[in-house]
Chains A and B, each alone.
Chain A
Amino acid sequence: MSGAELPPTAAFAGLASGTVLALGVAIAVRVWVAGAGERLITPQAENKPQVAIADQAEVGYCTPQFKQVLERVLHSCGLSEGDARRGCQPADVKTFASISDEDFNALFTPLKDRGAVILFDESQDVLDDKAKKLIEDKWFARRGARYFFVVARASKSGTQSKNRALSHRRANSVMFYLNQIANDPEIDQKVGLLWLGNEFAQLSKDYCSWPTSRPDVKCEDETINRSAFVSWVDCRL
């Protein structure tokens, strides 16, 4: 077979198209990579979707006033600074909270379902089984909360000193039980104790509708104040 002449246009067409394609590809790659390099050193636009940052819970009832009162109480009662002193006496609370009894109680209203009222026998500070069970339920339902509050009361009647001592013992009963179940060396940094005697923020009969450790017992003004309210507080303080 004799070799025919290849049209000169064939080699030229192949070479030219190859050159154009190879150059085009090289330039495109260079432009794409350089563009990315340029963006790399250019700060990103403001409209970049922001990623949420993990933090403790902060729910709707954490109003500035609520947080202010709790912060005052926490700092003043020595919890936040890790002070050896534990808890707030009635006079302290009244001073540090700087609000009326009704307003103080109203602040805790949103915690109705998050917390519970632990009821005691008259003049007693012993937790019964149902009280222990309810404290456990509440303590272990921590979720994102940082602080657990125990607000103990005594009785609407009786002397101030007797009620102060009784409410203090009730707060301690809860604290001791928390220590037993929690197995948490940092529990002191979590639990805020308040005892109110009968001088400040006594509960009205309306609070009988809150979850209590004795739902089957008749609840009156006097009964509801023989108590310790316990709750995690889902606020960043």
Chain B
Amino acid sequence: MPSEPGTPDKKSKLPAWLALLAALLGLLFAAYSTFDYANHLDRRLHEVHCSFIPGAPATSKAEACRAAMYSPYSALFRQHYWGGIPISLFALGAFSFYAAFAVYLIAAGGRAPKRAVSFFATTSLLPVCASLVMFSISVLKLGSICKICAGIYISSLLLAVMAWLLARAQRTRPVAEAQATVSKLMPLFWLATLGLVSLTPALVYAGSAPDERPFIDKCGTLKQPKIKNDELVKIATLHPTRKALLFEDPLCEICKAFHQRLVSENIIEQLDIELALFPLDTDCNWMLDQSLHPGACLVSKAVLCGGSQARQVLEWAFDEQEYLNRAAKSGVDVLRGAIKQRWGDTLLRCVDDRKTDVRLNNHLHFASDNGIPVLTPQMYLGDKRICDEDTDLGLRYTLGVLAPEVLK
């Protein structure tokens, strides 16, 4: 039943109210994401928000959200700003605009200009498109979806659905109902405003981001760059231009993520990498009270035995990390079986050779001779240690300062 001109139609306002709710939810999730990102500009490790429930506290158990945050897709201009400009800033601005526009449409009620409703419906597809792109990246590239990101995707979808329902309701409204009109140029003005409001948080962020340069080379140096009586593992790359030393554990999740960052940002191919194996497994590593990654000694020996295929063995271990971790928990024979199945008898014989034990021990002594922190991964450019925070959020920026040639 049509409402009288000028009388708000509660039914027609419902989509606008729900659109407002969606925009505010999107704003909230984007705020959590931005807050977590900005928090890490102090170069310390923080808990992050990772829940569908608005108001849920930050947690240390937020691997998917942390993986998304550290991924190269979470921010722009990483080479110019430490950590880059998080894309959640654009969501913050955009959802602010949509929330305000929804308020405008609610206040206008049945007399909302057709152009305004159409503009709202049309531009509400922008966050949906952005969400689809990010969702695809999450699934295809990262293999996990962070809950905060999912909150933004759902809010975007809800906003678009409500905006389109609003537009549909207006189209089906009787002609008798008078609607206000606005200039043809208004949608352009709104679009410019949307752009400006979306950009503002990013501009503020970029303008106030602290200077991280004084901190990026303050994490120590190698005391003895050469391993005694042995060789480190050479990782084959396409255009090795800058010497880098990595300490890695093939069963360490963070090493895997770090390796994937190096690959996805096309940095790895420019590095001349030597790998020191540093399994966090008491089976061979005396520096631990308990194994963090049981089975890592055995898999490290497989990498050592890889020879010219060491990179392939390492990447296989990263790709199959969950399976290998499960295999290791089932027993050493299961893990040995997995190695044999993929790399054959010859490599397994090498793994069992006493010389390989000695080589792995030499790698561990190389770590102890250098007094490095007992953690993985660690990266050294020349003899300079790259700080942990610079191997994740600040990777591109740090390399841009210390080794710009690897970013070409």
A positions within 8 Å CB-CB of B? 1-7, 9-15, 17-19, 21-22, 24-26, 28-30, 32-37, 39-41, 44, 51-57, 140, 142-144, 183-186, 234
Contact = CB atoms under 8 A, between A and B. Distances in A.
A4 to B, nearest CB: 3
B99 interface: yes
B96 A22 contact: yes
Given A18-B97, A40-B41, A140-B354, A13 B103 contact: yes
B205 A52 contact: no
B93 interface: yes
A52 B374 CA distance: 5
Nearest to B176: A1
Interface stretch (B208-216, B298-306, B399-407): B208-216
A53 B371 CA distance: 6
B77 interface: no
A10 B104 CA distance: 5
A4 B197 CA distance: 29
Given A22-B96, A26-B204, A14 B370 contact: no
B295 interface: no
A12 B104 CA distance: 8
A144 B197 contact: no
Nearest to A12: B107
Given A13-B106, A36-B42, A143-B284, 19 more contacts: A3-B179, A5-B111, A10-B112, A18-B101, A22-B96, A22-B200, A28-B31, A29-B201, A33-B38, A33-B208, A34-B208, A36-B40, A36-B210, A39-B44, A55-B287, A140-B357, A140-B358, A142-B358, A144-B364
A30 B200 CA distance: 11
B200 A14 contact: no
Name which of A19, A51, A54 has the most chain B CB atoms within 10 A of its CB: A54
Contacts of B367: 54
Contact of A33 (B31, B205, B288, B372): B205
A59 to B, nearest CB: 9
Interface in B152-180: 175, 178-180
A54 B180 contact: no
A55 B42 contact: no
B39 A13 contact: no
Contact of A25 (B6, B93, B288, B371): B93
B35 interface: yes
Contact of A54 (B6, B193, B371): B371
Nearest to B103: A17
Contact of A51 (B89, B112, B204, B374): B374
A57 B286 contact: yes
B375 interface: yes
A54 B370 contact: yes
Contacts of A41: 210
